[in-house]
Amino acid sequence: MKFFIDTADVDAIRELHDLGMVDGVTTNPSLILKSGRNILEVTKEICSFVKGPVSAEVVALKADDMIAEGRKLAAIAPNIAVKVPLTWDGLKTCKVLSGEGFMVNVTLCFSANQALIAAKAGATFISPFIGRLDDINLDGLDLIGDIRTIYDNYDFKTQILAASIRNANHVKDCALIGADVVTAPPNVIKALASHVLTDKGLDQFNADWAKTGQKIL
Ligand code: E4P
- Asked if residues 177 and 145 have their Cβ atoms less than 8 Å apart, the reply is yes
Distance 6 CA to ligand 1 centre (A): 7
- Determine the pLDDT at residue 5: 98
Closest CA to ligand 1's atom 11: 164
- Determine the pLDDT at residue 21: 96
| Pocket-forming residues, ligand 1, beta carbon under 6 Å | 6, 26, 28, 107, 127, 129, 131-132, 163-164, 183
d(CA 28, CA 43): 11
Measured CA to CA in angstroms, residue 43 lies from 56, 73, 74, 81, 112 at distances of 7, 9, 10, 11, 30
Domain ranges, ordered by start, for the chain: 2-192
d(CA 82, CA 55): 6
Closest CA to ligand 1's atom 9: 164
- Determine the pLDDT at residue 102: 98
d(CA 58, CA 68): 9
- Asked if residues 105 and 123 have their Cβ atoms less than 8 Å apart, the reply is yes
- Determine the pLDDT at residue 114: 98
pLDDT by 10s per residue, the chain, length 217: 999 999 999 999 999 999 999 999 999 999 999 999 999 999 999 999 999 999 999 999 999 999 999 999 999 999 999 999 999 999 999 999 999 999 999 999 999 999 999 999 999 999 999 999 999 999 999 999 999 999 999 999 999 999 999 999 999 999 999 999 999 999 999 999 999 999 999 999 999 999 999 999 9
Topology of domain 2-192, CATH? TIM Barrel (3.20.20)
Q: Please provide the DSSP assignment of 52-99 as one string.
A: S-EEEE---SSHHHHHHHHHHHHTT-TTEEEEEESSHHHHHHHHHHHH
